[in-house]
Each structure stands twice: as C-alpha cells, then as structure tokens.
Structure 1
C-alpha cells in the first residue's frame, strides 16, 4: 500500500489535485472519498470530472445517490451515500451495473455502502487542517499504487 499526505492550503490546491488525479488515472477505477461534511469531497470530484473533459456543472448527488457523466475517456459515476439509510438500497438500484471496465466510480461516504460496494483502488481522506485541508491518499490495489505514485 502506498500512502501520500498532501497539504491543501485552499480550494485552488484541491482543484489542482483533482486535475492531477484525472491526468494519472486508468480505468476501471474505484475511489472512495472520506471526510467530514464540507471537507472538500465534492470539490475534488468536480475537478476530476472536469479534468476528464466535462464542461458543465458538477453537482453533489446527495438526493439522487448517483450522478453519471458520459465522457470521451470514461463513464464517470459520482456517488454520494450520505443520505443512504441501508446499504441494501444499493442492490435495488442496480449498483453493480455501474462498476464496468470503462468506469470511474467516485464514492462519497463509502462506509454507508459497506458490504455492497466493491473494494476501492484508492481512498482519499480529506480533513480540516488550520485554514486548509489535509489529503491522505492511500492505494489498495496495484493500479491504485501506480496512480498514487504519479501524484
């Protein structure tokens, strides 16, 4: 397992990390995003999705659970499981169909889907640190290790 710790002084640095991640990734890939409310999970996701070529708005799918983005390089699925009452609900929405050979799945609040979600290739934990954030990026697969090594 590879782990990197990055201090993110402001939103600009969070967006830059998302762009670097977009440049480094290879598919398929599952990224779990952990951290408190407001720690920057959706901001980081927005940077990754836009770094892959999406031109429009990237919103948090808090109420819909998943927001799909069909891009030239990838099918991106942004999950926000904050309001998920029971992990079994994911089975009813056909969660396994989202994890394909050309998909990037970014999952906020992954512990709420524990037991149903596939294991991540990378986990990014964002936490408050002074006025900025600390990003702890951990790999959990060979592919994840290669990507984290590029960051």
Structure 2
C-alpha cells in the first residue's frame, strides 16, 4: 500500500538543501524545479487524495514521473527538515531508477547539502579546503581562512 513516510534528517539549511537537491537532480538528468515555501504546502498523492501531508520544499511528482510528491518540512523542535517520501512510489519514479532505496537517496542529499553549505558560507575565494575520504567512506573537510597579504 502506498503512503507518505516521514523520515528525520539532519538537513538544517534551506538554501543548502535546495542547492543539494538541484545538484542531485541535474546529475541524474532531471531539470530541477524545486518549490520553496515559507509556510508548508500540501503534497499530492495521486493514489490517495485524502492523505494530507505538507512540506516547505517540494519536488513535484510530475518531474519524477511518479504519482506522489516528495517534500521536506521544517521541524522547529528538531531544528532540521523532515523528508516526506513514499517508499513504494520512490521505487517506481525516476529517483528509484538511480538510487537503491530512500535511505541511499537521503544520504546523497545530506552529502550534497553539506557541500552546498560549505560553498555558501565558506566561499573558495576566502577559504582553502581540503577534503579527505576515509576507508569507510566518511568525508572530512578542513577549512582554512586564506591570508590577505594586502590587508
């Protein structure tokens, strides 16, 4: 049976989340049209129009050739976004063609969010970056402020 599932994340920055989603969608050949709303907007579930979930950041089902929207809703008490995704529809839409499951997709979203956060808040013209990937796949980025010799 198809239904929305709400998944806690540590995605905490709206702009970085939008940029991260854009990067992922472009990488798999989807032209991104990511909606961003200050107040949550209803997600559409073509399987069950009575099921009501809402989100601040939305990828509409039509972009994904699916029947259910994917959304991210701000959770003030957690200070992060919660993903609202239907795992059954996910397997059948364009994202399911590129990711084994919802967890793999959200892991990629987290990585893209973190990279976008660094790019937004630590611009390359002011900060040097060194990223090291450990054997277990863990990535560590070290940022060092560039010295301005003319200051």
Q: If the length of structure 2 is used for normalisation, what is the TM-score?
A: 0.34
Larger Rg: 2
Higher relative contact order (CA 8 A, sep 6+): 1
Q: If the length of structure 1 is used for normalisation, what is the TM-score?
A: 0.34
